Structure 1
Amino acid sequence: MAKFKQRGKTWSYHIYLGIDPLTKKRMEISKGGFKTKKEAAAAARIVEMEKANGTLIKESRMSFEEFAKDWLKSYGRSGVKISSVRAREKEMKHFISVWGPFPISKITKKMYQDRILDLSEKYSHNYMDGIHAAGRMIFRQAVELGLMKVNPTENFKLPKRQSSVEDLEKGEEEYKFLEKEELADFLKLCQSEGLYMDTLVFTTLSYTGLRIGELLALKWPDIDLEEGKLKVTKTLYNPNNNFLNYQLLTPKTSGSIRTIKIDDMLVTMFKKHKIKQNEIKLKNNKVYKNEGFIFARDDGYPQLRKVFETRLKRLLKKAGIEKNITPHSFRHTHTSLLIEAGVGIKEIQQRLGHSDINTTMNIYAHMTANMEEKASQQFSKLMKDLLL
């Protein structure tokens, strides 16, 4: 019900709209300057009709930063992984840095478009997908809560970026892997120069294609040493490299939950490791936290990813391998060996735990091209030697 007030010779209307869902403050819409009460009442009726029909929006003065942080809290309570919450938090900071104190209701499509175009000059298309996704979610909720009229992300498509030479070179870097002979030499070096668990870790990565987080999350019940099978049901999440603050999350995608067949050599290595680990448990029984982790520290906590990254760099240097090899590179190494062995794309997809066949296809195409290039170079060298 509208209320009317007279100030001097003019009239104004005041209509109660309810409580703001975010600020919990009373919301009211008012307008003055009417010559008569009748004019104010006529204008008020239009507003009341819009309110009744659900078409009235009282734009919020809440700042973008305030709303985005409130949105992140509700997003975190919706059952998503903590890793997803951290990703969204990082992505929305790209908007907060320019719009922080700005009222969210005043952000326009032009402002959003300009910000995305600016960021697209700095970041990869994949990362921009995440930033744009965060923007869409934030503004969609703002519209749903009636805090703004127009969603600035509506009908906006992320611009396709023309690949530069630098981008292509970075893309090559993503699929770095060890050749068969390089892998054999590297694993031999692990046996002679590696520290405790190095040989088992890097052999397992290269023989199974596991992600490093999946490997570090493995527990003894996940391995059937009699059948030679390994189950992947979780991944270790520890972004701060604090051994006390780890979390076990579901794998990257539903397709990542899988069972992998492992060969007799790897089974034998796991059996020997289990004996060694039992000795460590007895020795450190007062401090050992027995959670069943296979790749555990001497106190039972799962080993840190950073530890194996550092050990890998040390071994690569000793091996004289100058490629930018990371723990994930062993996953690509495993893929390349599967392709070389003639394993089909569908089987590779299942073994690697790719939910989307296109992911497998992209890697397959890249590595096949790499092998074709290598074959061409070897053929050219052979012919040169024959012709000399």
Structure 2
Amino acid sequence: MFYHPFKKTVKSKAGKTTKRWYYWWKDPITGIQHQKLIPNVSNQSEAYVYVSKLPDPTNTQRRITVNEIAAKMFLPDSEHVQRLNQLGKKLSSRTLDNYRGFIKEITKQFGDCFIEDLTIPMVNGYLMNLTDKSGSWKNSFLEALNHIYKEAPWHCKYPVIKPDYPRFARNSKKADIFTSDELVRFFDGTNWVDGLREYLLFLVMASCGLRLGEARGLRVKQFIVESHALVIDGFCERNGNRTNYNKKGSDEDQKLRVTLVPDDTMNLVQKYIDSHYLTENEFIFQRDDGRPLRQEYLESVFHRVIERAGIEIANRKLCPHSFRFTYVTRMRRNLDAETVQKMVGHSSVEMTEYYTRAAIPEMVEGLNPARQAVNMLFKEA
């Protein structure tokens, strides 16, 4: 018998003591014990008759496997993705594909397991044995698994408690920064047989702390020439599609930011725009067909210039993102952390979540104290 009648003494609101019949049972899924009042009974026989008519809890709370929950997760037209969209979490096709890949990895290993049976030793133990996978890959696996737990309430009639899976140390090396001498050599015109277009794109990255995708996606109208400022409102994905929001943003929450442009860089950009007769909606650094430069092409240009400039790369990770690390490091010499975070768009500053185009003039004005530091960016400390 699943249900067990018992009598206990209770006190009414008026303070009167009386005996009432209850029943208790243990949830077959969670193991949690529950109790409820048996209404309108006066003796043990009636109590047993009542509980004998209650439904079997193992039938009303069927256990759910990981496969059943994850089967259609992150598929473009699935109910799961539609729910994410309504909650303001619109994911790009590339992100959906990435998550779907990890969902397949999870279901291949744990698909037949009941979701509530997964444990830290099972999951983290499995990941620890994958010696060919990086810490970042394993954390992405755990992040996808976390989404399965979030999806579980839409499939289960019982609560599922997620274990606090430990995260893995990231063993991928962060990008190194450039020295002052290396910046001079990198932007020495004699090393640039690839042309002014590529030279200027990397100069803007170094001068404004941009990500490569943000630089590829730059359009004329993003520059506020009179203020020597730049509005970063999107980036190019690897396939060339430009978003209307910044990293970790969405159509509803763009995470727009503004940064200042050094005078010398702004003058070069303005001359380039004028000489190429670019209109405000055009990409500044474009191919002959008007589309943005390819990421793979720019990465190859970067490494060719590094080699021509004789910049030492042994035991170092120098890549286009090194300009962003270098920018943050140098700006921190003269500015407080919060100002730098506003300019580079780190999401740890809460106010960056609420920037809108209407506030751009105020945003520029708020950065004016940083103008001197921006123009000293390439000066020796």
Shared fold (TM-score, shorter chain, > 0.5): yes
Other-structure match for 1:86: 97
Match of 1:374? none
In the alignment, which of 326, 334, 344 is matched to residue 333 of structure 1? 326
Instruction: Return closer, same or farther for 1:190/1:134 CA change in 2, 3 Å cut-off.
Output: farther
Displacement of 1:64 after TM fit? 4.2
Residue 346 of structure 1: aligned partner:
338
Equivalent residues of 1:213, 1:236 under 8 A apart:
yes
Higher helix share: 1
| C-alpha deviation, 1:303, in angstroms | 1.4
Between Structure 1 and Structure 2, how many residues are aligned? 284
TM-score, reference length from structure 2? 0.65
User: 1:190, 1:315 within 8 Å by CA — same for their partners in 2?
Assistant: no
With over 3 angstroms needed to count, the CA separation of the structure-2 counterparts of 1:155 and 1:95, relative to structure 1, is: closer
Specify the SS of the correspondent of 1:90: helix
Distance 1:190 1:64 in 2: 59
Q: 1:322 to 1:259 in 2, by over 3 A?
A: same
Structure 1 position 299, deviation (Å): 0.8
- Consecutive unaligned residues in structure 1, runs of 5 or more: 1-40, 282-289, 359-388
Structure 1 residues 247 and 227, CA gap change in structure 2 (3 angstroms)? closer
Deviations 1:205-264 (A, max 9, x none): 1110011111122211111222211101112123xx4x5xx2414111459521111122
**TM-score, normalised on structure 1?**
0.64
Contact 1:117–1:159 under 8 Å retained in 2: no
Distance 2:265 2:259 in 1: 12
For the residue of structure 2 that corresponds to 1:231, the secondary structure is: strand
Amino acid at match of 2:124: I
Q: Residue in 2 aligned with 1:108?
A: 117
Contact 2:200–2:269, Cα closer than 8 Å, also in 1: yes
Letter of the aligned partner of 1:267 in structure 2? M
The residue that corresponds to 1:158 in the other structure is 165
**Which of residues 303, 311, 315 is equivalent to 2:305?**
315
- CA distance 1:160–1:230, shift in 2 (3 Å): closer
> SS of the counterpart of 1:333?
helix
Match of 1:373 in 2: none
| 2:55 alignment partner AA | V
Q: Structure 1 150/94 Cα, relative in aligned 2: closer, same or farther at 3 Å?
A: farther
Confirm or deny: 8 A CA contact 1:217 1:234 kept in the other structure.
yes
Q: How big is each residue's C-alpha offset from its partner over 1:100-151, in whole Å with a ceiling of 9 and x where there is no partner? A: 5x2x5477224x641333214545555444322321221342344227x563
Q: CA deviation at 1:330?
A: 0.5
Counterpart in 1 of 2:55? 47
Would the alpha carbon gap of residues 43 and 141 (structure 1) be closer, same or farther in structure 2, given more than 3 Å must change?
A: farther
| Kept after mapping to 1: 8 A contact 2:136/2:168 | no
Could you tell me how far apart the structure 1 residues matched to 2:121 and 2:242 are?
A: 37
2:256 counterpart residue number: 257
Q: Distance in 2 between matches of 1:251 and 1:190?
A: 34
Structure 1 69/144 Cα, relative in aligned 2: closer, same or farther at 3 Å?
Answer: closer
Gaps spanning 5+ residues in structure 2: where? 1-48, 351-381
| Cα distance in 2 for residues equivalent to 1:191 and 1:228 | 27
- Is the alpha carbon distance of 1:293 and 1:253 closer, same or farther for their aligned partners in structure 2, counting shifts above 3 Å? same
Alignment of 1:114-193 (within 5 A): 114-120=122-128, 122=131, 123-146=133-156, 151=160, 154-159=161-166, 161=168, 167=171, 170=172, 173-189=173-189, 192-193=192-193
Quote the RMSD (CA, aligned, Å): 3.3
1:278-330 CA-to-partner distances (Å, cap 9, x unmatched) read: 38x9xxxxxxxx95111211111111111110110111111122323111111
**Structural mapping, 1:222-233, within 5 Å:** 222-233=222-233
How far, CA to CA, are the matches of 1:252 and 1:206 in structure 2? 18
The CA distance in 2 between the partners of 1:334 and 1:190, in whole Å, is 23
